[in-house]
Amino acid sequence: MRYTITDLGTLGGSFVAPLDLNDRGEVVGVADRGDNAGIRGFVWRRGLMSDLGSLGGPQTAASAINASGQIAGWSQLKRTAPKSIFNTTSLFCDTPAQPTSPRFVCRAFLRTHGRLLDLGTLGGANSAAENKAMNDRGDVVGVAETRQPDPTAGGKPRFHAFLSRSGAARLLDLGTLGRDPDSFALGVNNRREVTGVSVANGSTFTGGTGRGFVWRRGHKIELPRLGGHFSSPGSINDRGTIVGWSTLAGDRTRHAALWSHGRVLDLGTLPGDVSSEAADITDRGLVVGTSCGANGCRAVQWRCRASADLNARIGDSGPWELTDTQAVNRRGQIVGDAAHAGLPRGFLLTPARR
C-alpha cells in the first residue's frame, strides 16, 4: 500500500510529536511554542494545530483521542510538588523546562465539551494518562500516586495503574503483580480490558524494567515474554490482541511483540536491524511501530506478520525520513515522528487512492 504524507506543522517552536489519532483523522500530541516554557498538548484538525490549554500549570500533553473527540493526557497544576518520579524523570510527566523552575503537581485529565477535567489521584499528589489511555466510552487509564510509601524508592509515594470509568474522578486502583510496589496502565479497549506494567523497584525503574500484564474483569494476568525478564504491552484492540515489546534472553535487546490467546509472538525487525517496538494495532490486525539498527530507527508496519519500511511506501515526497510510528486508525491512517530536511516533524500518512 502507498501513502500520501502530511506535515502536521508546529505550535511555533521546533519540536512536535504526535501520539494518537482517531478515525476522523484528528491528531493529538505534544509540541513546543518556541518560548522555552516546555511542552504543550495539541489537537490537529483539518490542517490546523491548536494548543489545548492547561489546568493552570505551564506544561501539558495530549496522549489519546477517541471517536467522539474526547482527549486524555496530563497537565501540570499551578501548585508546587515534592520530588517524585513524576517530576524528576520524564516517564509520566515532563521535568521542569528550566533547571531553576519549580516542580509542579501533574494531573491526568479528560477533555470533553471543550473543558479539561482533573481526574484526581489515588491519594497522592500526581497522576497522568499516557498513550492509548482512552477508549470510545470515555474510560481513561494511567498512573497515579498513592498514599503508601514505596520501600524501594526511599519512602516516596507508590504509583499504581488506575482506571477512570467514563472520566469519573474516582479512580479504580488496579494494583500490581505479586508484591511489586508500583505499576502503571498504558492502554484500554472498548471492553475495558487494560494493559499495564508492574514494577519491582521504583528507585531503579527507567521505563524498561517492568513486567507486562492485562487486566480483565478485575483480574490481572501476567503476559508471557520473549525469553527475557521485561515487557511493556501498549495498545489493545477490541478483539483483545495486544502489541508492545519484550526483551529477548539476556535482556539486552527488545523486539516488537504481539500477545493473543495467552501466547506471545515475536514480530521481528526490518532487515538489518536489531531491535523493534510495536506501538498500535487495529481490529483487523495492522500493527505499526519502530525498527532500529546501527544507522538509526525507521517507521515500520506489520501486516500478517510481514514487516515493511514505511519510508518505502511514501514515494517521491521530498526529504522525509520517517523514524517511528505512534498510532494507526481504522482507515489505515498513521501518525509518527520524522525528520524533514533535517528538522524534527510530525507526520500523518493517509492510504493513497488507487
Please tell me the predicted confidence (pLDDT) of residue 251: 97
Distance CA 238, CA 142 (A): 19
- Does any domain span residue 260? no
For 25-49, what is each residue's pLDDT tens digit? Answer: 999 999 999 998 899 999 999 999 9
Q: Quick one: 18 and 144 in the same domain? A: no
191: left (phi over 0), alpha (psi -120 to 50) or beta: alpha
Q: In this structure, are 17 and 74 located in the same domain?
A: no
Q: What share of the chain is helix, strand, coil (3-state, %, to 5)?
A: 5, 55, 40
CA dihedral 16, 19, 21, 27 (to 10 degrees): -20
pLDDT above 90 covers what percent of the chain? 90
User: Do 61 and 141 fall within a single domain?
Assistant: yes
pLDDT score for 48: 97
Is residue 308, in this structure, part of any structural domain at all?
Answer: no
Evaluate whether residue 268 is within a structural domain. no
> Residue 259: in which H helix or E strand, if any?
strand 254-260
Rounded mean pLDDT, 337-343: 91
| Dihedral angle of Cα 183, 197, 289, 26, to the nearest 10 degrees | -40
Worst-scoring range by mean pLDDT, 61-70, 94-103, 187-196, 266-275? 94-103
Is residue 58 domain-shared with residue 179, that is, in the same domain? Answer: yes
Q: Would you state the pLDDT for residue 305?
A: 84
Residue 139 and residue 11 share a domain: no
327 within a domain of the structure (yes/no): yes
- Split at pLDDT 50, 70, 90, the class of 317 is low
What confidence tier does 215 reach under pLDDT thresholds 50, 70, 90?
Answer: very high
Looking at 149, 175, 202, the residue that finishes a domain is 202
159 in the same domain as 189: yes
The 10s digit of each residue's pLDDT in 135-189 is: 999 999 999 999 999 999 998 999 999 999 987 778 999 999 999 999 999 999 9
Q: Quick check: 291 pLDDT over 90?
A: yes
Q: Among candidates 166, 185, 165, which has minimal Cα distance to 174? A: 185
Based on the domain organization, do 6 and 116 belong to the same domain?
no
My answer on whether 101 and 33 are in the same domain is no
**Residue at a domain's end among 202, 217, 251:** 202
Is the pTM higher than 0.85? yes
Q: Which domain holds residue 110?
A: 52-202
Q: pLDDT-based confidence at 342, cuts 50/70/90?
A: confident
Q: What is the mean pLDDT of residues 74-100?
A: 93
Q: Is residue 222 in some structural domain?
A: no
Between residues 100 and 78, the one the model is more confident about: 78
> Is 194 a member of any domain?
yes
Tell me the three state secondary structure of residue 165. Answer: helix
Distance between CA atoms of residues 108 and 255, nearest Å: 29
- Per-residue pLDDT at 97 exceeds 90: no
Residues 61 and 185 occupy one common structural domain: yes
Residue 285 within any structural domain of the chain: no
State mean pLDDT over 249-260: 98
Q: How many domains does the chain have?
A: 2
The verdict on 115 and 33 lying in the same domain is: no
Gap between the Cα atoms of 339 and 321, Å rounded: 5
Query: Exposure pattern of 155-165 as b/e (b: 16+ CB <10 Å)?
Result: ebbbbbbbbbe
Q: Is the pLDDT of residue 111 over 70?
A: yes
Q: Are residues 24 and 112 in the same domain?
A: no
| Cβ(97)–Cβ(87) below 8 Å | no
For the chain, give the mean pLDDT.
95
Over range 250-272, report the average pLDDT: 97
Q: Where are the alpha helices (DSSP H) in the chain?
A: 85-88
Q: How confident is the model at residue 194 (pLDDT cuts 50, 70, 90)?
A: very high
Which of the listed residues 171, 202, 233 is the one where a domain comes to its end? 202
297 within some domain: no
Mean pLDDT in residue range 98-109: 93
Quick check: 354 pLDDT over 70?
no
On the question of pLDDT at 86 being above 80, the answer is yes
Same domain (yes/no): 91, 1? no
Give the three-class secondary structure for 76.
strand
Instruction: Say if residue 308's pLDDT is above 70.
Output: yes
Predicted pLDDT of residue 333: 98
The pLDDT value recorded for residue 353 is: 78
